[in-house]
Structure 1
Amino acid sequence: MADKPLSKRLISLDFFRGLTIIGMIIVNTPGAYQYTFAPLKHAEWNGATPTDYVFPFFIFIVGVSIVLAYTKYLSKGRERGAMVPKIIKRSLIIFGLGLFLNVFPEFDFANIRIPGVLQRIAIVFFACALLFLYTSRRTQWWLGGALLVGYWLMIVLIPHPGEGLSLAEPGKNIAAWIDSTFIPGRLYQGTWDPEGILSTLPAIATGMTGMIAGYLIVSDRTREQKVVGLMVGGFVAFVLGNVWNWFFPINKHLWTSSYVLHTSGLASMVLGACYYWIDVLGKSNGTFAGVVFGTNAITAYVISGILPIVTHSDWLGDESLRSLFMNGGVSAGINPFVVSLLWALFFCFLCYIPVYFLYKNKIFIKV
């Protein structure tokens, strides 16, 4: 089946991307971490909460977007080699933004954390974009499977030289040893990092699952067939991920192979539902805010990393705007968990204001 560029922008993908960014902002900025509802916290180790779906959903979307964008470029006759410098540039910019957010606002470079969310996105984008340009789909299927199986075998067979091997405890695995040995600067968990070196390999596989969905979307199948493919393929991946969980636990911190299939399966089904509702049926009610965030997603994420310098510092006096909000709500007799969530929603609205301005003025910042 021949691939062809889409005749118009895929609004459902923008909406899905926007929902993901909204989720990222909400779970990252509660009014008080000790008053956070359980679904808005990461699983402590094995297992997954709704919060643990946010990051892999975005990585999945990166894979989809690569296929949609570069299929369009190739259809216009652009040379593959001519696109590589732009891929490198974009990857470096995203990686650099991640480093900036890690040192902002103290700029303590002596204790800089090299890994991070945007850094992982940059690496996945770089790897998947090159794979799209220079490998066949068959090769990508085999490589994706090899990454998942190879990573599984490494984690379950190779012990931490100093800590031994345990999938039930953080830090007792080969990924932690690689992080502590080869990553300079500060690690998020002291001796290991959830965005570390080894766990980036299955994260690339997550991006590749998004590419599979992208290939389906640009195929010559009917829109209804595409919806069925996204839903059925997603369900199969979800089931396989849960079966693999019996042998290799679903774990966001390690980005386990079962976690990849579990979350990519869910992402595919969510995208299929959005695609059917928005692009097939033409329903757009209630999608505007998601589309606004989705069309400037990285910009919105960077804004959410910078804005706390205003909302979380005590420039108003003895208390920050966030603490005034929390204390005022609790004093009014509102459950502190509810107040904490209301703050997160309010903070998300503050982030919405500048991205809404960009959207209304048709300014789409491509980094």
Structure 2
Amino acid sequence: MEKPSERLISLDAMRGFTIAAMITVNFPGHGSYVFHPLQHTHWNGLSFTDLIAPFFLFIVGVSIVFAYSRQLALHVPPRSLHRKIILRAVKIFAVGMFLNLLPDFDFSDLRYTGTLHRIAVVFLVCALLYLHTSWKQQALLAGIILIGYWLALTLIPTPGFGGRVLLEPGQNLAAWVDQQWLPGRMWQGTWDPEGILSTFPAIATGLTGMLAGRLFLEKITPSEKANYLMSAGLFISALGYVWSLDFPVNENLWTSSFVLITSGFACMVLGATYFWVDIKGHQKGTHPGVVLGANAITIYVLADLLALIFYNLPIQGLPMNEWSVNALISAGIAPKLASMLYALLFTALHFIPAYWMYRRKIFIKL
């Protein structure tokens, strides 16, 4: 096993374009006019939007391997890294709490979960596991989590529903656990898609990224690494499809089949882009992703802050986004296309501060 000798342009670009996609789907021009692929699936199923969060957690896992394999190669004692790992996780979680308080800072209606909260927990657990377990132990733990979660949700009756096992919105074991022990407000009133139980399979998503990242440490040719990534991705996504016949693909529950299918897709995308960009050298078009990916979480936070202006500033009695979309519709553009154009413009705006920081080598590591 060896340490990676240089950064992967493909991984950096994939991280940046994933953040760009996340901002685009989070901030449509008008919530009533959204193309179906840019919406989360209501319950069972998979859309383009449903791929974004697991892709980012997968990338977190791969990045952990690159970051800490270098530290271990320099013989840095693993325990000396604990403080940095815990501090980073706490900072990401704290920023997530800050965003949840915007704009009114109403502590009585505070939500304790969210995208950044889940990233913080997954990073913390996966980074510590990387320092103290082998890849075989990580693979075994991922398998135990996915199988255990499947058995729990499909065999344990949902309390309060006459001894029935349910997998419906707000009527399942994960929702019941959140209702009992999750503090604060839940995203959907009686349940939260980023709640307590579903965080365990989300950790498994991070572990799959770590397992993929470990391939880059192996003493095999770059082409073999790309082939293994794409082959493994195809296999586990196929396995996820078979599993979905019993345990449906569901982002809200972060089901085991959802983990395998999305991680498989992420693995194939990473393998293909690694082959095309890093092996073949076709880097044209990757620069925007690299720039955004250099400060990915910072740009994500900035999007929430800028949204206070671009989605609230009144123009002729309407929020800026609605006024802009209505103006585009009046110009003859279809409503959903107008909404998407506004979202893309809002996303593109973030490239300006991202490029400024990148040129000045300012990399904010939350």
TM-score over 0.5 (shorter chain): yes
Q: Is the 8 A contact 1:295 1:364 kept in 2?
A: yes
- Cα deviation for residue 32 of structure 1 reads 1.0
How far apart, in 2, do the equivalents of 1:192 and 1:88 lie?
28
Alignment-derived partner of residue 294 in structure 2: 295
Q: Is the 8 A contact 1:234 1:268 kept in 2?
A: yes
Alignment-derived partner of residue 251 in structure 1: 250
How far apart, in 2, do the equivalents of 1:345 and 1:248 lie?
35
Alignment-derived partner of residue 193 in structure 1: 192
Q: Is the 8 A contact 1:158 1:173 kept in 2?
A: no
How far apart, in 2, do the equivalents of 1:282 and 1:171 lie?
48
Deviates more, 1:323-332 or 1:188-197: 323-332
Confirm whether residue 118 of structure 1 aligns to residue 116 of structure 2. yes
What SS does structure 2 have at the residue aligned with 1:35? Answer: coil
CA deviation string 1:343-364 (max 9, x = no partner): 1100101122111111111111
Please list every run of at least 4 consecutive aligned residues from structure 1 whose deviation after the TM superposition is greater than 6 angstroms.
Answer: none
Confirm whether residue 178 of structure 1 aligns to residue 177 of structure 2. yes
Note the aligned Cα RMSD (angstroms): 1.1
Q: Counterpart of 2:262 in structure 1: which amino acid?
A: T
How many residue pairs were aligned?
365
Structure 1 regions of 5+ residues with no counterpart?
A: none
Structure 2 CA distance for partners of 1:167 and 1:353, relative to 1, 3 Å = farther
How far apart, in 2, do the equivalents of 1:37 and 1:51 lie?
11
Q: Counterpart of 2:242 in structure 1: which amino acid?
A: V
How far apart, in 2, do the equivalents of 1:60 and 1:166 lie?
30
How far apart, in 1, do the equivalents of 2:166 and 2:235 lie?
25
What SS does structure 2 have at the residue aligned with 1:34? Answer: coil
Alignment-derived partner of residue 321 in structure 2: 322
Confirm whether residue 24 of structure 1 aligns to residue 26 of structure 2. no
Question: Aligned ranges for residues 1-367 of structure 1 at < 5 Å?
Answer: 2=1, 4-163=2-161, 165=164, 167=166, 169-316=168-315, 318-367=317-366
How far apart, in 2, do the equivalents of 1:62 and 1:344 lie?
25
How far apart, in 2, do the equivalents of 1:221 and 1:302 lie?
38
Q: Is the 8 A contact 2:145 2:204 kept in 1?
A: yes
- Cα deviation for residue 134 of structure 1 reads 0.8
- Cα deviation for residue 315 of structure 1 reads 4.6
- Cα deviation for residue 103 of structure 1 reads 1.0
TM-score normalised to the size of structure 2?
0.98
How far apart, in 2, do the equivalents of 1:169 and 1:189 lie?
13
What SS does structure 2 have at the residue aligned with 1:33? Answer: coil
Q: Is the 8 A contact 1:30 1:344 kept in 2?
A: yes
Q: Counterpart of 1:32 in structure 2: which amino acid?
A: H
How far apart, in 1, do the equivalents of 2:315 and 2:288 lie?
30
CA deviation string 1:70-106 (max 9, x = no partner): 0011111211011000000000000111111111111
TM-score normalised to the size of structure 1?
0.97
Structure 2 regions of 5+ residues with no counterpart?
A: none
How far apart, in 2, do the equivalents of 1:324 and 1:38 lie?
22
